[in-house]
């Protein structure tokens, strides 16, 4: 754990992994229920930690894995990145918790020429763009204008609310890019992660049914509207905008951090909403993918 913390804190790594910044960064990485500890690899050079890699196993209808990692700048161009990739790829191929993984992906904040070259050498192809959007603090923060008949409830930790969230999440995101369905067990695991704030999860109800939600996360360097969704039957009534405003306000009240969110570059409807609320693209994240096989 000290070695993993040291690697994640290295500036040449931290620039790509700000969600793991801070004293509990390693715990946040390992607290992800989709990131098994046995799939994490560390590289050493002369007794010094030189890099890491991990496999995030995603049990969707077509199971896939996201491989993450990095090598400290002073140890690059020695084949360490390729060796780490080979190690986590082999883990994906042999593990049994998420069988039949057909595809793996890697990602990097841009611009990062070394990541592009690495992906191309290993046979990855471009798959998607994601955008990190940021809203300036101090800008006017409109009060949520909740649609008629909407009741708001802060997460209370109960199984009933987990079930409500799961149903709304699965309705909201089914059919989206690389959708991974939620279950009560998975939601419970996420609610047990380091840094999770129950008061940062708001559920919206109409006629007794959860029809929307917003989850806020405070990283060491930025606040993030982590997940925001509305069920299909509650779209077009202003609920998504109200939840976005609530999430923005929560981050500004609970921290002094920049207010951010990550959005699929192909989700034009979400982009229009976010821009209309003062969010602008701050960084671009590229995803590459290829068939799952050891390399």
pLDDT in tens, the chain (295 residues): 999 999 999 998 998 999 998 889 999 999 999 999 999 999 999 999 999 999 999 999 999 999 999 999 999 999 999 999 999 999 999 999 999 999 999 999 999 899 999 999 999 999 999 999 999 887 777 899 999 999 999 999 999 999 999 999 999 999 899 999 999 999 999 999 999 999 999 999 999 999 999 999 999 999 999 999 999 999 999 999 999 999 999 999 999 999 999 999 999 989 999 999 999 999 999 999 999 975 4
pLDDT at residue 295, as a whole number: 47
Note whether 183 and 200 are same-domain residues: yes
147-151 — which CB contacts under 8 Å span 24+ positions? 147/237, 147/238, 147/239, 147/242, 149/206, 149/207, 150/204, 150/205, 150/206, 150/211, 150/212, 150/239, 150/242, 151/204, 151/205, 151/206
Note whether 107 and 149 are same-domain residues: no
Note whether 219 and 267 are same-domain residues: yes
Q: Cα dihedral angle (281, 269, 184, 63), rounded to 10 degrees?
A: -80
Note whether 118 and 144 are same-domain residues: no
Note whether 142 and 76 are same-domain residues: no
Note whether 109 and 189 are same-domain residues: no
Give the distance from CA 219 to its chain's centroid: 12
Query: Which residues constitute the domain of residue 25?
Result: 2-128+286-291
Note whether 175 and 96 are same-domain residues: no
Note whether 179 and 258 are same-domain residues: yes
Note whether 121 and 180 are same-domain residues: no
Whether the full predicted model's pTM is greater than 0.85, yes or no, is: yes
How many structural domains comprise the chain? 2
Note whether 145 and 268 are same-domain residues: yes
pLDDT at residue 141, as a whole number: 73
Note whether 106 and 185 are same-domain residues: no
């Amino acid at each position: 754990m000290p070695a993993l913390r040291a690697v994640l804190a290295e500036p040449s790594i931290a620039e790509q992994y700000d969600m793991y910044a801070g004293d509990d960064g390693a715990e946040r990485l390992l607290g992800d229920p989709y990131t098994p500890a046995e799939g994490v690899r560390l590289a050493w050079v002369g007794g010094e930690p030189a890099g890491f890699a991990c496999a995030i196993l995603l049990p969707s209808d077509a199971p896939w894995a996201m491989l993450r990692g990095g090598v400290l700048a002073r140890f690059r161009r020695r084949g360490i990145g390729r060796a780490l990739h080979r190690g986590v790829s082999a883990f994906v191929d042999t593990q049994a918790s998420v069988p039949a993984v057909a595809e793996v992906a890697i990602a990097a904040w841009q611009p990062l020429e070394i990541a592009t070259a690495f992906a191309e050498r290993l046979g990855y192809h471009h798959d998607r763009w994601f955008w990190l959007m940021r809203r300036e603090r101090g800008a006017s923060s409109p009060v949520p204008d909740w649609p008629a008949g909407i009741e708001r409830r802060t997460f209370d930790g109960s199984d009933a609310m987990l079930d409500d969230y799961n149903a709304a999440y699965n309705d909201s995101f089914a059919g989206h890019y690389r959708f991974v369905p939620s279950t009560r067990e998975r939601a419970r695991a996420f609610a047990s992660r380091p840094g999770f704030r129950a008061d940062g999860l708001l559920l919206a109800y109409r006629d007794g049914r959860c029809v929307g939600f917003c989850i806020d996360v405070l990283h060491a360097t930025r606040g993030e509207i982590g997940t925001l969704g509305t069920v299909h039957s509650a779209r077009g009534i202003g609920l998504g905008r109200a939840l976005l405003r609530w999430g923005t306000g929560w981050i500004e009240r609970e921290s002094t951090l920049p207010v951010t969110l990550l959005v699929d570059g192909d989700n034009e409807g979400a982009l229009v909403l976010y821009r209309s609320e003062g969010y602008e693209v701050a960084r671009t994240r590229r995803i590459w993918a290829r068939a799952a096989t050891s390399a």
